[in-house]
Amino acid sequence: MKENRKGMAQIIGWVLLVIFTVSIAAFITTWAKNQATTLSEDTVEYVEGRMDCQQVRLANLSHNCAANTVELINPGTLNIVRISAQIDDTETKIQSLDLKAQGDPKTLSIDQSFSKARLIPLIQKEGGLLGCNDKAVLIYC
């Protein structure tokens, strides 16, 4: 009885091809599921963050363009822990500035001259800092 080794090689080749294809499909399915889960979690945080931002207020009392300072107050009900300063639509710097809710005004010093600054309040949330873009204050010099 003679074995046909050539026929066996083709069968082994097809089996290996099917195993490879199933492995790649399993990998892609797992990756896609993880990506969808991460995107869903980020979206939920964004929606929750917008609800938190409704209680945030940031007001500009005065600013001194020569000294690059801005006097800010927080008339809202949540503490602002930092300010993200976007200078002249290019550079963004995050500066510590603890503005208590309905507390005393504080002065923010910006370390460079600017013609326009967009100050975004950042609040502390369970997962970290949350930027309230819709509560930003614009300063023009």
Break the chain into its structural domains and give their ranges. Answer: 54-140
Q: What is the pLDDT of residue 120?
A: 87
Tell me what the mean pLDDT of segment 97-103 comes to. 87
Res 68 pLDDT > 70: yes
pLDDT per position as a tens digit, 27-44: 999 999 888 877 665 544
**Residues 137 and 122 sit within 8 Å (Cβ to Cβ):** no
Q: What is the pLDDT of residue 72?
A: 93
**Residues 45 and 52 sit within 8 Å (Cβ to Cβ):** no
Beta bridge partners of 94: 84
CA distance 87 to 115: 8
Grade residue 47 by pLDDT with cuts at 50, 70 and 90.
very low
pTM of the model: 0.63
Q: Classify domain 54-140 at the CATH topology level.
A: Immunoglobulin-like (2.60.40)
Where are any strands of DSSP class E within the chain? Answer: 59-64, 69-73, 80-87, 91-99, 106-109, 116-125, 128-131, 137-140
